[in-house]
Amino acid sequence: MDKLAIIGGRPLYGTIPISGAKNSALKVMAAALLTDEKLTLTNVPRLADVDMLMRLLEQHGTTTEFDGSTLSLHAKTISSTEAPYDLVRKMRASFNVLGPLLAREGKAKVSLPGGCAIGARPVDLHLKMLTAMGAKIELDEGYVFAEAPDGLHGADIAFPFVSVGATEHTMLAATLAKGETTIENAAREPEIADLADCLNAMGAKITGAGRSTITIEGVDRLHGAEHAVLPDRIETGAYIMAVGATGGELTLTGTRSDLLGAAWSVLEEIGLYVEDLDNGLRVKRNGERYKAVDIITQPFPGFPTDLQAQFMALMATADGVSKIKETIFENRFMHAPELSRMGAKISVDGQTATVRGVERLKGAPVMATDLRASMSLVIAGLAAEGQTMVNRVYHLDRGFERLEEKLQACGALIERVKE
């Protein structure tokens, strides 16, 4: 199992190209199942999760070709409507093939999903949505058996709470449904609008993406298209926080400030200088110690839960006390004990963590527990005195493209150690 060895205490200077968003790429890839024509996606990151979903799509009969950051997908015929446990268990996003298979073929057998250990994240909303659209759903031995022999029909769907996954799944399924589907209390994340842009380029009729009400007018068929995946806002925020922790100055190319939502103002509030450029952002920190700030994770445009762990690593050496409240997922403070091994002063009470900033962290062996927690340990290691050894870096390979290479180019002493 690979590890990352980091010698900290060096500021970061240089340019980092921001990759396409993993959380968007996976959903637009699933859209390939909705048409018998080719879907070409550009700005696709080379990640373990992308590779896993490619294998699942190939299981359904999709031909794939990955050249650089361009991914071509062609599901001319669906050879299988079953998504087996071995291909679905490692990644929740795999579950979103259920709606497209059901919409196109009238049936599907899909394993219940797995993924990072940061809470239950049940699929109840997904199944209720499909039931409202006319599907017959049965659960048996860890699989969802779904049928809609006469096709799906439009429905009025009101989610009891905001769910990115359920919003995206509804959009995918409703494109080929008969009639109009309305989603109330829809998620507003940038990835929602990106999926709508891709589906509309394929001939779908979706309005309202990015707002709390989305309307999908079903069409008879979708066609091929080309779509560029939007920049990864979580990678963007993580590298901004890395500069905050280490000092220095970075130019982040191919990204935008509007993708960060409330995180943008929080990063400015703590004392970082972040500037919009024509094709990216510039971030720098002077030699002064930045100040502690409180945050509450919320659906977009609030502070994203996927940046909470990285922000905690940043607050570990801030001037003052920070309170971090997690409202999206339970069990998402598992990185706190690992940061404490490096000298951070963190106490957790339920869904609130209190971080008392120290002047410096010290390198230590630590263990990653999930994707975003892994990056928090990298940020802490970059700022710490001495060597940090981050174990279980396979989590990082799921969501951060060429991490070591990008950081090495900016002066970081980081390398992958193979066992």
Is 113 marked as binding a ligand? Answer: no
Instruction: Please state whether the peptide bond connecting residue 149 to the residue before it is cis, i.e. omega within 30 degrees of 0.
Output: no
How far is Cα of residue 161 from the mean position of the Cα atoms in its chain? 19
Is 123 marked as binding a ligand? Answer: yes
C-alpha dihedral sign at 209, 231, 305, 26: positive
116 is catalytic: yes
What is the DSSP annotation of 213-257?
Answer: EEEEE--S----EEEEPPB-HHHHHHHHHHHHHH-EEEEEES--G
Q: Which of 34, 53, 83, 116 is catalytic?
A: 116
CB 124 within 8 A of CB 161: no
Quick one: tokens of 176? 């080929």
Is 328 marked as binding a ligand? Answer: yes
Q: Using alpha carbons, list the distances in angstroms from residue 286 to 63, 220, 246, 269, 273.
A: 50, 57, 10, 14, 9
Angle, in degrees to the nearest 10, between helices 233-246 and 262-269: 10
Is 125 marked as binding a ligand? Answer: yes
CB 416 within 8 A of CB 410: no
Do the strands 70-74 and 107-111 form a parallel or antiparallel pair, or are they unpaired? unpaired
Q: Which residues are annotated as part of the binding site for UDP-N-acetyl-alpha-D-glucosamine?
A: 92, 121-125, 306, 328
Please list the active-site residues: 116
Q: Which residues are annotated as part of the binding site?
A: 22-23, 92, 121-125, 306, 328
Q: Which residues are annotated as part of the binding site for phosphoenolpyruvate?
A: 22-23
